[in-house]
DNA sequence: AAGACGGGGCA
DNA sequence: TGCCCAGTCTT
């Protein structure tokens, strides 16, 4: 399988993204994009990458910034450990320079087999395949391998297959072609085999069962906790954010949350007690938020408080709504719910 | 090898 | 809802 048909297909169907500049690419751009692309949809990265680059135009800017600033620039992307590792990585690279070999890149914090290969390929022209979910799935189907998507075996087979293909074409563009093929044609469900340039060579297609490969991964049990969120607003229009001290969302700043269990009223009192507050919070509404295998229901309450209540390191700090702090999408969801409730109220009673 | 870790999109 | 996504790190 030489991959020429694939490159032909790619020349007609290439998707455009901010990080897809001509080869060889700026290593910094590749690095940031690839780290963001870890388990994050390309469309989402396309939205948020420009914001990050505007805040940190150069690698040196990341290295010189505080960790929290880098995490803040990742807000909305999830997997915030990536931002912390990227910060460490930037400092190492500024100190010691860029390795170009995938094996050496692999040693750096935050770069696993995929990202190390991707940076080596797209920034430095190496032909080691960055095996992501797309490449693994395509390999499983081409060879009709009954292996689960994340198995080490499948990864090895995919590496061997696409390594050979890349040698014959000698361009890392082949890897992008495979990723686009996986995203748009060789999709996880309902693959469009009629449009696939590799269908003639695909054993899964010949079997008539493309969707049987790779094997589905066993599903995990799901938790469905209920959290309470308290939206506190002072007369200056600021809201109180607190750092979360335990995972999930550890280290991020959100409105005070109560993540225990039991009766809602009891838990609300407990939360108020922690903050040294009294008063009668008003129920604003509920929202749902998913974190990995958890499906979380968040009950949102609001309360207006006098100035300076709860102002200290442990209990949080008052910030304006648009403050640049490390936070999560959940904070935006809560803010949106409160804002919507507010506008409803002014419409209804206004 | 398995579990933890965000969040959005889609059928 | 259930599953997937340009994964990595820890145990």
How many angstroms separate the CA of A113 from the C1' of C6?
12
Question: Which residues on adjacent β-strands are paired with residue A296?
Answer: A289
Residue A350's pLDDT is 31
Report which secondary-structure segment, H or E, holds A294: strand A294-304
Are A181 and A267 found together in one domain?
A: no
How many angstroms separate the CA of A44 from the C1' of B8?
8
Lowest mean pLDDT of A9-18, A96-105, A159-168, A287-296, name the range. Answer: A287-296
Q: Residue A231's closest CA among A323, A319, A122, A127?
A: A319
Rounded average pLDDT over A244-255: 91
Are A335 and A198 found together in one domain?
A: no
Q: What confidence tier does A345 reach under pLDDT thresholds 50, 70, 90?
A: low
Domain holding A196: CATH number?
Answer: 1.10.340.30
Are A20 and A152 found together in one domain?
A: yes
Report which secondary-structure segment, H or E, holds A139: helix A133-142
Instruction: Count up the domains in chain A and report the number.
Output: 2
Domain contains A61:
yes
CB A55, CB A156: distance < 8 Å: no
Question: What is the rounded CA–CA span in Å between residue A104 and residue A89?
Answer: 13
Domain contains A302:
yes
Tokens 């607003």 -> residue: A233
Domain contains A221:
no
Are A291 and A328 found together in one domain?
A: yes
- Would the Cβ of A222 be found within 7 angstroms of any atom in strand C? yes
Nearest-CA residue relative to C1' of C1: A295
**Which domain covers residue A182, as residue numbers?**
4-212
Q: Given a cut of 90, is residue A169 above it in pLDDT?
A: yes
Rounded average pLDDT over A50-71: 96
Report which secondary-structure segment, H or E, holds A97: none
- What is the dihedral sign for C-alpha A243, A246, A252, A256? negative
How many angstroms separate the CA of A164 from the C1' of B6?
35
Q: Given a cut of 70, is residue A311 above it in pLDDT?
A: no
For chain A, percent of residues with pLDDT exceeding 70: 95
Domain contains A275:
yes
Domain contains A218:
no
Catalytic residues of A: 34
Domain holding A268: CATH number?
Answer: 3.90.79.10
Rounded average pLDDT over A23-46: 95
Nearest-CA residue relative to C1' of C2: A219
For chain A, percent of residues with pLDDT exceeding 90: 77
Are A142 and A200 found together in one domain?
A: yes
Final residue belonging to a domain, choices A186, A212, A238: A212
Are A16 and A78 found together in one domain?
A: yes
Give residue A158's Cα distance to chain centre.
24
Other Cβ atoms closer than 10 A to A155: 20
Domain contains A20:
yes
- Would the Cβ of A132 be found within 7 angstroms of any atom in strand C? yes
Q: How many residues does chain A have?
A: 350
Q: What confidence tier does A313 reach under pLDDT thresholds 50, 70, 90?
A: low
Are A186 and A312 found together in one domain?
A: no
- Would the Cβ of A140 be found within 7 angstroms of any atom in strand C? no
Are A246 and A156 found together in one domain?
A: no
Q: Given a cut of 90, is residue A291 above it in pLDDT?
A: no
Q: Given a cut of 70, is residue A314 above it in pLDDT?
A: no
Domain contains A220:
no
Tokens 């690095």 -> residue: A31
Are A192 and A339 found together in one domain?
A: no
Final residue belonging to a domain, choices A212, A234, A268: A212
Q: What's the angle, vertex CA A55, arms to CA A50 and CA A61, rounded to 5?
A: 120
- Would the Cβ of A259 be found within 7 angstroms of any atom in strand B? no
How many angstroms separate the CA of A82 from the C1' of C10?
15
- Would the Cβ of A118 be found within 7 angstroms of any atom in strand C? yes
Provide the b/e sequence for A227-247 (b: ≥16 CB within 10 Å).
bbbbbbbbeeebbbbbbbeee
> In the 123-152 stretch of chain A, whose C-beta falls under 7 Å of nucleic acid strand B?
151-152
Residue A196's pLDDT is 95
Residue A308's pLDDT is 62
Are A207 and A230 found together in one domain?
A: no
Final residue belonging to a domain, choices A181, A212, A243: A212
Are A119 and A48 found together in one domain?
A: yes
Rounded average pLDDT over A98-106: 95
Q: Which long-range contacts (CB under 8 A, 24 or more apart) does A339-346 make?
A: A340/A285, A341/A284, A341/A285, A341/A302
Domain contains A217:
no
Residue A349's pLDDT is 43
For strand B, the positions having any atom within 7 A of a protein Cβ are 1, 3-9, 11
Give chain A's mean pLDDT.
91
- Burial class of residue A116 (count of CB atoms within 10 Å of its CB; 0-12, 13-18, 19+): buried
Nearest-CA residue relative to C1' of B10: A189
Rounded average pLDDT over A269-289: 92
Are A73 and A184 found together in one domain?
A: yes
């Amino acid at each position: 399988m030489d991959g020429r048909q694939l490159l032909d297909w790619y020349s007609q169907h290439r998707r455009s993204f901010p990080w897809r500049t001509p080869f060889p690419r700026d290593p910094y751009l590749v690095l940031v994009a690839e780290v963001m692309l870890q388990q994050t949809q390309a469309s989402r990265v396309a939205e948020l990458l420009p914001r990050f680059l505007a805040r940190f135009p150069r690698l040196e800017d990341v290295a010189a910034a505080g960790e929290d600033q880098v995490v803040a620039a990742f807000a909305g992307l999830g997997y915030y450990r990536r931002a912390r590792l990227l910060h460490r990585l930037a400092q190492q690279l500024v100190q010691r320079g860029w390795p170009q070999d995938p094996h050496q890149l692999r040693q750096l914090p935050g770069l696993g087999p995929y990202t190390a290969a991707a940076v080596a390929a797209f920034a430095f022209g190496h032909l080691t395949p960055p095996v992501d979910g797309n490449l693994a799935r395509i390999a499983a189907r081409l060879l009709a391998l009954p292996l689960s998507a994340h198995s080490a075996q499948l990864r090895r087979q995919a590496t061997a297959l696409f390594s050979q293909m890349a040698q014959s074409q000698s361009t890392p563009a082949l890897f992008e072609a495979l990723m686009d093929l996986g995203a748009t044609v060789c999709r996880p469900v309902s693959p469009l085999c009629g449009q696939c340039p590799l269908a003639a060579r695909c054993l899964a297609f010949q079997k008539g069962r493309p969707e049987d490969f790779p094997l589905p991964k066993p599903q995990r049990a799901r938790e469905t906790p209920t959290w309470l969120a308290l939206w506190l607003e002072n007369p200056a229009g600021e809201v109180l954010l607190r750092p979360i001290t335990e995972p999930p969302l550890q280290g991020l700043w959100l409105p005070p949350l109560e993540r225990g269990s039991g009766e809602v009223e009891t838990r609300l009192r407990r939360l108020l007690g922690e903050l040294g507050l009294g008063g009668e919070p008003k129920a604003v509404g509920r929202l749902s938020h998913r974190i990995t295998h958890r499906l979380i229901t968040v009950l949102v309450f609001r309360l207006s408080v006098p100035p300076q209540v709860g102002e200290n390191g442990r209990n949080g700090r008052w910030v304006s709504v648009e403050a640049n702090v490390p936070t999560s999408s959940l904070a935006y969801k809560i803010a949106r719910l409160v804002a919507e409730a507010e506008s409803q109220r002014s419409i209804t009673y206004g």
